[in-house]
Structure 1
């Protein structure tokens, strides 16, 4: 049995159906990240797990126990909020130990617990300070310490890094990941930042308009998306999506893309069995930027590299990478190349496509076109 099972959960506010049958199961020690655009229902779901919102329909099971009607104080769950929610008149030690004090934990035991957590979070020298004397990152550590000191069954994080600047957000992200690796705790974490989700999670639940779009490992939601929404939402830059037509050319199944005066034919490697039924029909191709590169950087050993000469529309150096924008069909496409690749906007150059990473979608339903075996695996994963 799963440690946390969100079983067909619905939430309604009057006539508004906010959550529509969400089903997620994770094991003890997992780091689940709920990710999606603003208004998709991820924070509502987190509040329902915490007991701050009621459930309209469905079940929440924690370690086999239904907690639908259990008071928040009796759920053995700790929550870290976006706004820190520290008491300004208390010291750091007082804020961390406040929950234990409310539970009548003896002073000596309370102090030992606070010292242990402060050492873990490397804030021992801040215990006598007030929140107003702390930086944003230090306040977030205190908020985390207040949750950790209770040693609960489950930790909930509601966009805890959104108030921090970019560099501090990256540093705190690493600290949270290291903390999880050391403590092996079970965490449910809400964010709208898909890079944060990819970095932290052992499992990602991608949500949209109150519905679960995909549940899987970071690798699965990135390289094997269920639909166009997941493909476009996960990744920065996002997956390139291009209109194409499936045809059979010299007994080889290819995706044809009209580009300028020529037609680019990309061989189909994945999901060939399913795509044979799409011959003569229009589809949407999906390719990550790193699957389109300069020929010298491509992995030619597996025989899945297809080269084509295309225009260079824009160059975006980032230091570690060089992103090159070209036109494929009627879409602007991002390619990821080696830094220092000698290119100029307006010229033409050869691009190398790794067709083994190409995925294909139905333009009407927006669902992934998969071989039957892959469909069965995806359904099992979501269930």
Structure 2
């Protein structure tokens, strides 16, 4: 049975629906990440779980108990904000213990809890400092410590790393993942950063304009996007989306991509061929991740359908462990992810290998998955 249940949740301001019937469920100890562009409703959803925002329709249940009418203090939830929200006149230890003090927890018990949390977060040496004496990452640790010390049923994180620089974000991401593995508490985490979502989550909910686009594991959302929005939003670089004509050749269904100044590039769609036969003669959007277009020697040898084709190289971008190679197909710039030492040059033709096991196809009108 699900531990946290969000059942047909609607948030309405006047005649405008901000959230439009969101349904999600998370097992106990799960890590749910709400991801989507700014204004999609993810922070509103988090606030409704916390009780900071009212529910227009639907229910929030934790451990089978309806939360709708309960005050935030009665929900056994702890929230970590983007802004840290630390008291500047208090020491780190006092900030962490403040919630316990408000609940009249005895001092000896408070001190023990603070010491345990400080050990978990490796910040025992910071307990006497004031927030002004801390770095951004240290302040975020204090904010997390203040939530941890309460030992709640559910942790809510609202874009906690967005104020940190790039390297510190990676470090703190690792900290949060390690913390979750150790504590095994249910977490709901809001971010617009899809890399954060992919690395932290056990489940991802992708939102757009208040509508749930897809809900699944990171692998499901990344490898089997439900629509064009999810395909484009998840992944960096994002999925290549190329117009392709569906044809029948020699009794087989194929997809054809236009190439400037030469004949079409015809690809065997592999397993997707049977479903694509229903749209013969039509144009689809052919979706394929950059890592599924590579040089021949770097291709997945276990793939069932590998297609080799020569393409004109426009741009070569060395990126350390990889080389990103840009070609032009179907009127679109297509990014391939090749090995770091691949011998390709801009302005020259080069062999590309397409792993068609990883290909997905969408209807260009509805933008929904067709194969």
TM-score (norm 1): 0.95
- The one-character-per-residue Cα deviations of 1:211-240 (angstroms, maximum 9, x if unpaired) are 000000000000000000000000000000
1:34 is aligned to: 34
Structure 1 contact 270–359 (Cα < 8 Å) conserved: no
Report 1:362-373 matches (<5 A): 362-370=363-371
Structure 2 contact 253–274 (Cα < 8 Å) conserved: no
Change (3 A) 1:249 1:300: farther
2:142 is aligned to: 142
Report 1:259-298 matches (<5 A): 259-260=259-260, 261-298=262-299
SS of the aligned residue for 2:83 comes to coil
- The one-character-per-residue Cα deviations of 1:179-203 (angstroms, maximum 9, x if unpaired) are 0011111000000000000010000
Structure 1 contact 270–358 (Cα < 8 Å) conserved: no
Report 1:56-95 matches (<5 A): 56-95=56-95
2:189 is aligned to: 189
Distance 1:148 1:187 in 2: 12
Distance 1:252 1:273 in 2: 9
2:133 is aligned to: 133
112-121 or 340-349, which deviates more: 340-349
Shift of 1:273: 3.0
Change (3 A) 1:167 1:301: closer
TM-score (norm 2): 0.98
1:19 is aligned to: 19
RMSD: 0.9
- The one-character-per-residue Cα deviations of 1:264-316 (angstroms, maximum 9, x if unpaired) are 11112233332211111110000000000011111345441101111111111
Structure 2 contact 19–210 (Cα < 8 Å) conserved: yes
Distance 1:321 1:258 in 2: 27
1:167 is aligned to: 167
- The one-character-per-residue Cα deviations of 1:295-354 (angstroms, maximum 9, x if unpaired) are 111134544110111111111111111100101110000000010212221111010000
Structure 2 contact 298–338 (Cα < 8 Å) conserved: yes
1:374 is aligned to: none
Tell me, which stretches of 5 or more residues in structure 2 are unaligned?
A: none
1:378 is aligned to: none
Distance 1:63 1:296 in 2: 51
Distance 2:226 2:303 in 1: 25
**Structure 1 runs, 4 residues or longer, greater than 2 Å off:** 270-274, 299-303
Aligned residues: 370
